[in-house]
Amino acid sequence: MTNPLIECIPNFSEARRPEVVQKIIESIQGVAGIHLLDRHSDLDHNRTVITYVGNPAAVSEAAFASIKTAAELIDLNQHQGEHPRIGATDVVPFVPIRDTSIQDCVRLAENLAKRVADELNIPVFLYEEAARISEKQNLENIRKGQFEALKEEIGSSPVRTPDYGPSELGSAGATVIGVRQPLIAFNIYLTTDDVSIAQKIGRAVRHSSGGLRYVKGMGVLVEGKAQVSMNLTNFSKTPIARVVEFVRREAARYGVAIHHSELVGLIPQTALIDAAQWYLQLDGFETKQILEQRLFDERQENTENANKEESFLNQLASADPAPGGGSAAAYSAAMGAALTTMVSRLTLGRKKYADVHAQMQTLEEESIQLQTELTTAIQEDADAFIQVMEAFKKPKSTPEEIVQRNNAIQAATIQAAELPFRAAQKALQIMKNAFQAARIGNINTISDAASGVIFARAGLRSACINVRTNTLSIQDQNKVDQLLASVRQLEKEAAEIEEQLTLLLQERGGFPN
């Protein structure tokens, strides 16, 4: 069983207001399944870089949440800093780490870009491996002239035209989303204090001067030693061992040697294994020969088996109050999305359905994204219930504590109502998509598409019940009225689709009355 892991390193145009940076971090950490690895804020640059990892669904959801938060709190019209930038969330690279590919990450980037454009009205450019034209592969081309120049030139040329969203900039600017290989920040110190030697080697090793592909380099003086400072942008194509030997040979030309090397930040394990295999000249080596790797794999397998036993259905059946109906609603709707994706894939590429290829491709992309969002919502709903329970446990010994407790209960209850409401909205969209798949997709899968409609319908009804339940405890009557009116509209549209499905199954599927 695979266990995909993706790294995301979003860059935000803020460092001088710690409270803003903290809210962005909290929006990332609020997504289940996310592990925050690092954060770095530079006051001169007025820029913060955050590193986190998780499964594809969680990583995408955390990226969206942080982009949304940054857009609400950062105004590029007021931003000042040394680092080039075009957006509140300037750049969002995805990096495949384990059991996933560049193409998987490209699809993730495209789905996120579309969602950011559609829901936040922010222009999005795709770069690096996700770029659709060669000029956009290089981030510097997109960011040329920064926010101020892009504001005037957006839409004026292919490289200045966003891949998603409007050709105009608001206060949040634009966001660049893409995919790249893991970057290794790697420095080599020389047995000399002559910085000119390091500078010559830096020029020789970097690709822009005719050196090694996927290497950026320069020479600097650090703590009395000449240093060749490098970024290795694709260690699988230009291995770290090859870089070391290149620097070693160049250094020998000037009568010096390598004193030591250092890593800045994190490095993928694969890069170190590749270097060890190269230097030891190991033949037929496999990672399963590494003792710790074998132990990890065995532990992982045991964990997965335990997870199977403690499945979602078993969790629902337990005596614990969460997960409950709200999580089940999201799970049901997610199954509807998954079935729609299946029908799309069984239709795409077949000559008989060539005329609906574009429509089915759109359905596939939307269904994958909706499944991802609802998968995250399963845990979010359970967490929301727990937050309500925690609010009720707050002290109430003084008038101030009573007020604080009531405010906490109300905030948690509103959140507990809004989460299933958003799930119901997504479920309605899945019903529409699944119905469309039943109408134009592979006729042999019409029953699967219809099942997708029904699963989404069940999820919608269950989610709406959970909304109504929580509104009973909300004191803000305007909020209650707004939620209930919206729920009634969702249920009305869902009922209409269900009626249309019955007719479609009779007319296109030949189902008996």
User: Which residues are annotated as catalytic?
Assistant: 83, 381
Identify the burial level of 314 via C-beta atoms within 10 angstroms of its C-beta, where 0-12 means exposed, 13-18 middle and 19 or more buried.
exposed
Q: Who's near 511: CB < 8 A, 6+ residues apart?
A: 505
232 vs 91: CA distance, rounded Å: 19
Per the CB < 8 A criterion, the answer to whether 409 and 388 are in contact is yes
Burial of 183 per CB tally in 10 Å (0-12, 13-18, 19+): buried
Taking the C-alpha atoms of residue 256 and residue 340, their distance in angstroms, rounded to an integer, is: 63
> Residue 6: what are its φ and ψ, rounded to 5°?
-125, 140
Going from the C-alpha of 186 to that of each of 52, 96, 98, 218, 269, the distances in angstroms are 21, 20, 22, 11, 14
SS3 sequence of 71-107: HHHCCCCCCCCCCCCCECEEEEEEEEEECCCHHHHHH
Rg, Å, the chain Cα set: 27
Packing angle of the helix pair 357-392, 56-73 (nearest 10 deg): 80
Asked if 94 contacts 7 with a C-beta cutoff of 8 angstroms, the reply is yes
Can you tell me the distance from the alpha carbon of 72 to that of 86, in angstroms, rounded to the nearest whole number?
Answer: 16
Residues ≥6 apart with Cβ < 8 Å to 42? 15, 48, 83
Task: Say how many Å lie between the first and final Cα of the chain, rounded.
Answer: 43
Are 189 and 258 in contact by the 8 Å Cβ rule? The answer is: yes
CA angle 17, 13, 24 (to 5 degrees): 60
Distance CA 219, CA 480 (A): 63
DSSP code string of 139-208: HHHHTTTHHHHHHHHTTSSGGGS-SBS-SS--TTB-EEEEE-PPPEEEEEEES---HHHHHHHHHHHSGG
Structure tokens at 336: 């509807």
- Token pair 């998603």: residue: 164
Contacts of residue 425, defined as CB under 8 A and 6 or more positions apart, other chains included, come to 490
ω into 323 cis (within 30 of 0): yes
Both tokens assigned to 215: 């290497």
Name the amino acid, one letter, at 108.
L
